[in-house]
Structure 1
Amino acid sequence: MNAPTRLLAACLMTAVPFAVQAQEIDNLTAVYSEDGRYFTEDDVPTYNVAEDGTVDWLTYSGFRRYHSECHVCHGPEGEGSSYAPALKKSAIDMDYYEFRDVVTNGRTKVNAAENFVMPAFGENPNVMCYLDDIYVYLKARGADVVPRGRPGRKESKSDVIREDENACLGH
Structure 2
Amino acid sequence: MSVGTAARAEPPGDPTAVKEVDGKFFDKNGDPTYKVQDDGTVDWYTFSGYRRYHAECHVCHGPNAEGSTYAPALKNSVKNFNYAEFYGIVVSGRENKVAGNDSVMPAFADNKNAMCYIDDLYIYLRARSTEAVGRGRPEKKAAKPATFTEAEAKCMSGN
In the alignment, which residue of structure 2 is the partner of 1:168? 155
Secondary structure of the residue aligned to 1:52 is: coil
Moved more, 38-47 or 87-96: 87-96
| Equivalent residue letter for 1:107 | R
CA distance in 1, matches of 2:107, 2:13: 28
> Post-superposition shift, 1:25?
5.7
Instruction: Give the partner amino acid of 1:167.
Output: K
Identify which of structures 1 and 2 has the higher relative contact order when contacts are C-alpha pairs closer than 8 Å and 6+ apart.
Answer: 2
Match of 1:34 among 21, 30, 39: 21
Measure, in 1, the Cα distance between the counterparts of 2:99 and 2:35. Answer: 42
User: Is this contact kept in 2: 1:74–1:84, CA < 8 A?
Assistant: yes
Partner Cα separation in structure 1 for residue 21 and residue 143 of structure 2 = 14
Which residue pairs with 2:81 in the alignment?
94
Q: Is the 8 A contact 1:92 1:139 kept in 2?
A: yes
Name stretches of at least 5 consecutive residues in structure 1 with no aligned partner: 1-23
Corresponding residue for residue 63 of structure 2: 76
Question: SS at the partner of 2:68?
Answer: coil
1:66 aligns with: 53
Flag structure 2 segments of 5+ consecutive residues without an equivalent: 1-10
Please give the alpha-carbon distance, in whole angstroms, between the structure 2 residues aligned to 1:25 and 1:71: 22
Code of the residue aligned with 2:102 in structure 1: it is N
Check if 1:143 corresponds to 2:125.
no
CA 1:50 to 1:75, structure 2 compared with 1: closer, same or farther past 3 Å? same
Instruction: Tell me which residue corresponds to 1:20.
Output: none
Query: Which structure is larger by alpha-carbon Rg, 1 or 2?
Result: 1
Q: CA deviation at 1:68?
A: 0.5
Shift of residue 166, structure 1, vs aligned partner: 0.7
Identity of aligned residues (%): 51
Scaled by the length of structure 1, the TM-score of the pair is 0.83
Deviations 1:36-70 (A, max 9, x none): 10000111000000000000001001110000000
Match of 1:44 in 2: 31
Greater helix share, structure number: 1
- Structure 1 distance, partners of 2:125, 2:99, is 30
Secondary structure, counterpart of 1:139 in structure 2? helix
What TM-score does the superposition give when structure 2 sets the normalisation length?
0.89
**Counterpart secondary structure, 1:93:** coil
Where does 1:123-134 land on structure 2 (aligned, <5 Å)?
Answer: 123-134=110-121
